[in-house]
Amino acid sequence: MESERIVAEASGVEFESLFEPRPDAMSDTVRWTLRRWLRGHLNRPHPQLGRPGPVCPFTGPAIAKRLVWVGIVDGTDIDQDRMRTIVDDMVDIFPTLSPQDGAGSALRTTMAVFPDLTDYDMIDTVQQAGKDQFVELGLMLGQFYPGCAEGGLWNSDFRPLDAPLPMLAVRQMVGTDYPFLVSRPNHLSAYLKQFAPAVPSMVRTDIAERIAW
């Protein structure tokens, strides 16, 4: 789908490409904050990261190709049901984003941002509830918010999910996601289905149950 804006069917949230030129871009505090965080943090190395390279190696190419989509949900009148509806919309929207195949497809990212939300536990709850569904579809659902204490893969003292705004983000599962999925058999089975499709499903399940920690 080639469109600058997409209106989600169930929630009515409007998603748009974050890095498309906009006349009012610099006057929009939320979008400006997101751009600064993506460019100045995720796209740069960090001394506590525990490995060389930027915090997220996919961020720079995604920005360059304008493949970061964002839906901003203003206000405090939001509950878990509303947030789950938005997440379900993201499941529907993601496959329609271009490019849908090739190397560029792994760079697509969709974010639902809740700038006025202060109950960050809701972000964690919805992310945990939706993770299985997303992994089964070959997608990753991540939670970000100010002060998120989840440790990094390479350094447990690093806080990669600490962000200036609360949000839920969706991206394509990639081969390097293995460490995030190996601890649960159903997640590992979905990973193998994505990256080893020639392996019979019964064998994938057996491998996942044997390997998962």
Contact 99, 26 (CB under 8 A): no
Contact 99, 172 (CB under 8 A): no
DSSP E strands in 14-114: the ranges are 14-17, 68-72, 109-113
Cα–Cα distance measured from residue 25 to residue 211, given in angstroms and rounded to the nearest whole number = 48
Question: Which one-letter amino acid corresponds to residue 139?
Answer: L
pLDDT over 90 for what percent of the chain? 65
Residue 2 pLDDT > 60: no
The CB-side HSE value for 86 (13 A sphere, CA atoms) comes to 27
Mean pLDDT of the chain: 90
pLDDT (tens digit, 9 = 90+) per residue, 49-103?
Answer: 888 999 999 999 999 999 999 999 999 999 999 999 999 999 999 999 988 888 7
Cα–Cα distance measured from residue 117 to residue 100, given in angstroms and rounded to the nearest whole number = 32
pLDDT of residue 137: 95
Contact 185, 129 (CB under 8 A): no
Confidence band, pLDDT 50/70/90 cuts, at residue 1: very low
pLDDT (tens digit, 9 = 90+) per residue, 130-179?
Answer: 999 999 999 999 999 999 999 888 888 989 999 999 999 999 998 888 88
pLDDT (tens digit, 9 = 90+) per residue, 3-52?
Answer: 578 999 999 999 999 998 765 554 489 999 999 999 999 999 999 988 89
Cα–Cα distance measured from residue 76 to residue 118, given in angstroms and rounded to the nearest whole number = 8
Whole-structure pTM value: 0.88
Q: Is the dihedral of CA 75, 79, 82, 86 positive or negative?
A: positive
pLDDT of residue 171: 95
Cα–Cα distance measured from residue 193 to residue 117, given in angstroms and rounded to the nearest whole number = 36
